Amino acid sequence: MKIVSVDDLPLDGKVIQVLRNRGIVSLNPVQSEAIEKGLLEGKRMLLTSPTGSGKTLIAELGMISHLLKGGKRAVYVTPLRALTAEKYSTFGDWETLGIKVGVTSGDYDAEDAFLSKYDLVVTTYEKLDSLWRHGPEWLLETDYFVLDELHYMNDGKRGPIVESVAVRAKRRKILALSATVSNGEAIAKWLNAELVNTNWRPVPLREGILINDRKITLSFSDGTTLTLKGSDGILSYTEKVVEEGGQVLIFRSSRKMAETTAKKVASLNLKLRRGEVDSLASRLEEVEDAGSEEKNTLLELIKKGVAFHHAGLSKGLRDLIEEGFRKRIIKVITATPTLAAGVNLPARSVIIGDIHRFNRRILGFQEEISVMEYKQMSGRAGRPGYDSEGEAVIVVRNRREAERIARKYIFSPPEPLESKLGNESAFYSFLLGLFAEKGSSEERVRNLVYEAFLDRNVTESYLEQGFSWLKENEFLTNDYKLTVFGRRVADIYINPFSAKIIKDVLTSSQSEDCDIPYLHMLAMTPDGPIANVSKQEEDDLVYVSPCPTFMEEPDDEDELYEYLSALKIALIVHDWVEETEEDTILSKYNIGSGDLRSIVETMDWLTYSGYQVAKALKLESHAEILHKLNRRVYDGVKEELLDLIRVPGIGRKRGRLLYQNGLTKPEDLLMNQEKVKSILGEKLGEKVVKEAARVVGGVL
Binding site per annotation, positions: 31
Residue 307's DSSP bridge partners are 333
Nearest to 537 by CA among 568, 512, 560, 558: 568
Q: Could you give the C-alpha distances from 691 to 115, 639, 645, in angstroms and in order?
A: 26, 21, 11
Q: Are 57 and 24 in contact (CB under 8 A)?
A: yes
Sign of the alpha-carbon torsion through 149, 150, 154, 160: positive
- Nearest-angstrom CA–CA distance, 43 and 397: 49
Helix (H, G, I), strand (E, B) or coil at 603: helix
Give the other-Cβ count within 10 Å of 21's Cβ.
Answer: 10
Beta bridge partners of residue 122, listed in sequence order: 76, 103
| Residues in CB range of 473: below 8 A, 6 or more apart | 496, 500, 503
Which 3 state secondary structure label does DSSP give 394? strand
Contacts of 368 (CB under 8 A, 6+ apart): 355, 356, 357, 408
In angstroms, rounded to a whole number, what is the distance separating the alpha carbons of residues 259 and 265? 10
| CA atoms of 155 and 161, how far apart (whole Å) | 10
The contacts found for 459-464 with CB under 8 angstroms, 24 or more apart, are: 462/421, 462/422, 462/424, 462/427, 463/431
* Radius of gyration over every alpha carbon of the chain, rounded to an integer in angstroms: 27
Binding residues for ATP: 31
- Which residues, other chains included, contact 513 with Cβ-Cβ below 8 Å and sequence gap of 6+? none
Q: How far apart are CA 333 and CA 351, in angstroms?
A: 10
Q: How far apart are CA 413 and CA 392, in angstroms?
A: 16
Q: Could you give the C-alpha distances from 127 to 105, 145, 438, 532, 585, in angstroms and in order?
A: 6, 14, 17, 27, 30
Evaluate whether 615 touches 591 at the Cβ level (below 8 Å). Answer: no
At residue 104, the 3 state secondary structure works out as strand
Q: Element (H or E) spanning 35, and its range? A: helix 29-36
- Residue closest to 108 by CA, chosen among 489, 570, 449: 489
Question: For residues 480-494, b (16+ Cβ closer than 10 Å) or e, as one string?
Answer: bebbebbbbbbbbbb
Map residue 208 onto helix, strand or coil.
strand
Q: Which of 243, 311, 314, 234 is nearest to 272 (CA)?
A: 243
**Residue 49 and residue 30 in contact, taking contact as beta carbons nearer than 8 Å:** yes
The answer to whether 200 and 30 have CB atoms below 8 angstroms apart is yes
Bridging pattern class, strands 356-358 and 366-368:
antiparallel
Helices 593-616 and 484-492: angle between axes, nearest 10 degrees: 160
Residue 267 has a CB neighbour count (10 Å cut-off) of: 10
Q: How far is residue 102's CA from residue 85's CA, in Å, rounded to a whole number?
A: 11
DSSP 8-state secondary structure symbol assigned to residue 287: -
